[in-house]
């Protein structure tokens, strides 16, 4: 299996169409949300709010959602969801978070807002806009075969095609951070989960080891 998966004869990249949205969601529920550190670290664990699912699927019409599929069966083995942002993304997220106060998605968006304000990649790299990868998942039975790297490389290609000067992602998982570092992405900023606390010093998101921090990485295209 490992050798065959490395061949382009076996796997194809597809831009997700609106008709494929439920297939994408099914894959993400099984192979992304169950393990993604912020979804695991907020209650109820591993159960994404409807608003979170809707947020990811809302990117499909922009042609910034990709799947890797086995050519023979059409089975999805990896997926990535991305969206456009500009230098005002931090303020935009602050406003967006207000709609979800007191919910799981609200707690996640609050953390991502802090991360965005810290990293602010558009200002830092002096670009008008960037493609931000919001979700990345590989079939749990097929990890360690560079499928994550392949879907990221495919997203870079798609970003170039769509005219983006920069691609970036907030790696909430140690595995995605290691992966993009190997692909030559630059570390922009880092926020430890233990240091994300309220005014009483209580940690707001309890992420299990080995994940310790959100690391924002970017690559100029
Ligand atoms: N749990 C345990 N080990 C993992 C792992 C995971 N979630 N993800 C990768 N690994 C291991 C691989 O098995 C491999 O080990 P090996 O060197 O002993 O073979 C090594 O880490 C490198 O794997 P790599 O090929 O870089 O990872 P991948 O592309 O197969 O998968 C992710 C990486 C991040 C896509 C995958 O972990 C995933 O889908 N996680 C769940 C969702 C998530 O957290 N996404 C990232 C949020 S930003």
Residue 15, pLDDT > 90, answer yes
pTM for the full predicted model? 0.96
Ligand 1 centroid – CA 72 distance (Å): 24
Ligand 1 centroid – CA 147 distance (Å): 9
Residue with the nearest Cα to atom 30 of ligand 1?
A: 143
The answer to whether the CB of 66 falls within 8 A of the CB of 76 is no
Residue with the nearest Cα to atom 29 of ligand 1?
A: 148
Ligand 1 atom at minimal distance to the Cα of residue 37: 44
Cα(41)–Cα(3) distance, integer angstroms: 35
Question: What 8-state DSSP symbol labels residue 165?
Answer: S
Q: What is the structure's pLDDT at 4?
A: 59
Q: What is the structure's pLDDT at 6?
A: 64
Q: Decide whether any atom of ligand 1 lies within 6 Å of the 137 Cβ.
A: yes
Residue with the nearest Cα to atom 48 of ligand 1?
A: 171
Cα(220)–Cα(184) distance, integer angstroms: 10
* Mean pLDDT, residues 56-75 taken together: 97
């Amino acid at each position: 299996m490992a050798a065959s998966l490395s061949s382009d004869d076996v796997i194809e990249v597809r831009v997700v169409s609106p008709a494929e949205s439920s297939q994408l969601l099914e894959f993400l529920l099984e192979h992304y949300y169950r393990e993604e550190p912020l979804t695991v670290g907020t209650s109820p664990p591993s159960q994404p709010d409807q608003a979170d699912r809707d947020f990811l699927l809302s990117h499909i019409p922009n042609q910034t959602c990709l799947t890797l599929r086995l050519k023979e069966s059409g089975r999805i083995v990896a997926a990535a969801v991305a969206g456009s942002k500009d230098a005002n993304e931090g303020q935009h997220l602050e406003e967006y978070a207000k709609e979800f106060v007191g919910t799981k998605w609200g707690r996640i968006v609050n953390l991502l807002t802090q991360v965005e304000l810290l990293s602010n990649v558009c200002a830092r790299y002096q670009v008008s806009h960037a493609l931000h990868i919001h979700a990345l998942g590989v079939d749990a039975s097929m990890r360690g075969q560079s499928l994550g790297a392949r879907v990221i490389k495919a997203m870079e290609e798609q970003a170039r095609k769509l005219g983006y000067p920069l691609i970036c992602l907030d790696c909430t998982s140690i595995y995605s951070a290691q992966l993009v570092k190997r692909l030559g992405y630059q570390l922009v900023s880092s926020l430890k989960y233990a240091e994300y606390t309220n005014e009483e010093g209580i940690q707001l998101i309890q992420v299990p080891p080995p994940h310790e921090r959100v690391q924002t990485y970017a690559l100029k295209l």
